[in-house]
């Protein structure tokens, strides 16, 4: 009987954590603006106001991103986990193609803008 209740408790705990990892149901999904798309590169501009989020997408190409206007970002990965990050203005980074499926949300109080350059 103890194992049964422990299993029920563990199930409720996992369910509760997965619910907490979900973005707010009413969050507006904002598509990126495509600045260039050719056989070599794809350049996208992401602009998210406070509370707005990106659509779910997968990174299947190497890419570079530059934060034009920073804010606090919550990055949700496909298994329901998330990571919060203060993305400061001017940050630039390279990210290899790892097949990461995610979406991100501006949880800060200021608009967020980032340019992503995918290398084909």
pLDDT of residue 80: 79
The yes-or-no verdict on residue 114 having pLDDT over 70 is yes
What is the count of structural domains for the chain?
A: 1
List the domain range (segments joined by +) for residue 77. 2-119
Q: Which long-range contacts (CB under 8 A, 24 or more apart) does 27-34 make?
A: 27/51, 27/52, 27/53, 27/105, 28/52, 28/53, 29/53, 29/54, 29/55, 30/54, 31/55, 32/116
| CATH code for position 89 | 2.60.120.10
The pTM for the full model equals 0.75
The yes-or-no verdict on residue 81 having pLDDT over 50 is yes
pLDDT of residue 15: 41
d(CA 100, CA 3): 36
Mean local confidence (pLDDT), 99-118: 96
């Amino acid at each position: 009987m103890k194992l049964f209740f422990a299993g029920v408790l563990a199930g409720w705990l996992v369910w509760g954590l997965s619910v907490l990892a979900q973005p707010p149901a009413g969050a507006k999904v904002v598509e990126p603006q495509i600045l260039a798309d050719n056989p070599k590169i794809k350049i996208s501009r992401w602009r998210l106001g406070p509370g707005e989020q990106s659509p779910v997408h997968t990174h299947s190409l190497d890419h570079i991103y530059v934060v034009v206007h920073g804010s606090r970002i919550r990055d949700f990965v496909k298994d329901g986990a998330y990571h919060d990050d203060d993305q400061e203005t001017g940050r630039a980074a390279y990210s290899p193609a790892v097949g990461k499926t995610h979406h991100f949300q501006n949880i800060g109080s200021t608009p967020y803008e980032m340019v992503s350059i995918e290398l084909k």
